[in-house]
Structure 1
């Protein structure tokens, strides 16, 4: 069987999609699974042994470009896929499998996709409460519920060559225990634990003889620089490495795999760390772990304990960010030590 999957557009969602690929492999051990996704996600997909190949999506998030979608769909006809699974809910995401003449096209109802999808499912959020259940459920026949199927956890496997190359490129050593910190979140400030709190965790780890690696995108450089400044005012500057905005995603995945433990906001890198099997403390302020928790038995979730959380807002409606400010470093440090 040849299966074509239209993948999601966010880092964390792509990591969670591996649970679907694993479920498909369990059901159909000889299946070939190809994944259409944005080019940036290739390093994530290439760390998934279940996937045969990643196909780069030539369009940016939100672009319709029917002619481009038609051309790509027509070019895929020669592959003679048996089954398409569409993970995004948009109408446009269902166009390429339809143009590719894939006979079975599965997905949740989402936008008006009648005809484009001929195996259309109606989502009951009270049953499919977790995002990962929503994905894995599409590997099974209509009507199958999470209580009747196994939900495999992601397990990313970066290439050994990628790991050694990244360690050499950034002159990093793994001799001291590595704490990975991920203080960013593309969603907005209401997901970001304060920099001074991250700095306190970093200082404690370094004082115990460990080292700290900071991960993030270019958008996180300022926050990570602030953390480094706070840390280096009182401890050994050589023990903290700011990698935010310097690494490619492939390098970040490779280096993250070497960490002994991690602390992260509710973000894509949280899911990457969990998928790599790194014991992680995941911090939830404006969002909830009831929908997208870290999918790992080696994780601890800390969430806000105030009435207005979760609000799912990008910025605090009241301007106080108490859900994050009052999440004390002592509480996070205790959870980290107990992992």
Structure 2
């Protein structure tokens, strides 16, 4: 069986697709499994060995070999038996059909059902309204169509030796000893600014963690978030608070930092799912997004949100301009949740390879 899987376009969603990839590999151990991924998303799966090939694709790439015509030619030459379409887009369904893939598995959304051979109906209520469903389970439904029941919804990632070396170098340069206690903070999110927690609040939290919990605090960031990370460090004004803003950034570095952390405090964004995959305790700050969509069944997680009459709105920018769902999430409340997570015994460190160590840490 030759299967190509179109991955989601967001990093967090790609992590939530790992149970589906695992199920397909277990279901077809001697088959060929390829993934189609955006160049900025593909590295999140580095270190996993479930697929045979990664095909980079972005319809607006500057590189011709990563655009749609090149992908269609590539797939016509590879002649997959089936395409599993994790994104709900009509574009991926068109590409699969134009590539001559005989079996096309996906959800019947956005008027693309006629392009699919195996159409799944998304969960809806009696009135036809889409019901919130954990994305992990939503994706796994596509693997079930191909006869792959999977092994549960556990997220799984790996780090490479290069990732770990980058994290070692960063910790040394920042004067951080993870064995003495490390909390990572993550501020970003590709979804949009509505998910952001104010830098001032992160600064208060970082200082309290360093002073009262006696841990080192490292602010993670992406290339567009360097200034925000620097601002948080300046606001915290504490020698044990640092950031990756002046490092060579990569998804691998972020994964390795989360893997070795005792706690991650994050917005509802990609690195939140790194924590679930590595067994790292996590406090997630929710605002405009619904928890039901991204539930991961991580046992060492606390979800915090400040209820507002207008939320959760599922909008990337606050439509009312006040952003109270995140602004009114008090730093003291986040610190109390973080302290509870840190009060338990130190968890065993996740190994470089996934699935080789049972993580049994529980908060006190």
Please indicate the TM-score interval, normalised by the length of the shorter structure. Answer: 0.7 to 0.9
Aligned to 2:351: none
Aligned to 1:97: 96
Q: Distance in 2 between matches of 1:290 and 1:244?
A: 32
Aligned to 1:44: 44
Aligned to 1:136: 140
Q: Distance in 2 between matches of 1:132 and 1:140?
A: 13
Aligned to 1:224: 229
Equivalent residue of 1:35, what SS? strand
Residue by residue over 1:248-303, the C-alpha shift from the partner in whole angstroms, topping out at 9 and shown as x without a partner, is 22222222222111000111222223223211001101212111135522211112
Within 5 A, what are the aligned runs for 1:98-177?
98-126=97-125, 129-141=133-145, 151-168=152-169, 171-172=173-174, 173-177=177-181
Residue by residue over 1:166-188, the C-alpha shift from the partner in whole angstroms, topping out at 9 and shown as x without a partner, is 32256254233110100122333
Taking a change above 3 Å as real, the CA distance of residues 167 and 125 of structure 1, as seen in their structure-2 partners, is farther
Q: Distance in 2 between matches of 1:150 and 1:180?
A: 30
Equivalent residue of 2:54, what SS? strand
- CA positional deviation for 1:150: 5.9
Q: Please report the TM-score for the alignment, with normalisation by the length of structure 2.
A: 0.81
Q: Distance in 2 between matches of 1:17 and 1:119?
A: 19
Provide the aligned length of Structure 1 versus Structure 2. Answer: 328
Q: Distance in 2 between matches of 1:177 and 1:80?
A: 50
**1:69 equivalenced with 2:68 (yes/no):** yes
Q: Please report the TM-score for the alignment, with normalisation by the length of structure 1.
A: 0.86
Equivalent residue of 2:14, what SS? helix
Taking a change above 3 Å as real, the CA distance of residues 58 and 318 of structure 1, as seen in their structure-2 partners, is closer
User: Given that residues 5 and 83 in structure 2 are in contact (C-alpha distance below 8 angstroms), is that contact kept between their aligned partners in structure 1?
Assistant: yes
Within 5 A, what are the aligned runs for 1:260-339?
260-339=262-341
Q: Distance in 1 between matches of 2:30 and 2:301?
A: 32
More displaced stretch, 3-12 vs 221-230 = 221-230
User: Given that residues 9 and 37 in structure 1 are in contact (C-alpha distance below 8 angstroms), is that contact kept between their aligned partners in structure 2?
Assistant: yes
Aligned to 2:350: none
Aligned to 2:18: 18
Residue by residue over 1:193-229, the C-alpha shift from the partner in whole angstroms, topping out at 9 and shown as x without a partner, is 1222212221122123211111122322222222111
Taking a change above 3 Å as real, the CA distance of residues 103 and 314 of structure 1, as seen in their structure-2 partners, is closer
Aligned to 1:180: 184
Q: Distance in 2 between matches of 1:334 and 1:294?
A: 22
- CA positional deviation for 1:324: 1.6
Q: Distance in 1 between matches of 2:40 and 2:156?
A: 19
Q: Distance in 2 between matches of 1:154 and 1:60?
A: 30
Note the aligned Cα RMSD (angstroms): 2.7
User: Given that residues 266 and 283 in structure 2 are in contact (C-alpha distance below 8 angstroms), is that contact kept between their aligned partners in structure 1?
Assistant: yes
Q: Distance in 2 between matches of 1:305 and 1:59?
A: 38
User: Given that residues 45 and 54 in structure 1 are in contact (C-alpha distance below 8 angstroms), is that contact kept between their aligned partners in structure 2?
Assistant: no
User: Given that residues 22 and 152 in structure 1 are in contact (C-alpha distance below 8 angstroms), is that contact kept between their aligned partners in structure 2?
Assistant: no
Q: Distance in 2 between matches of 1:77 and 1:295?
A: 39
Aligned to 2:33: 33
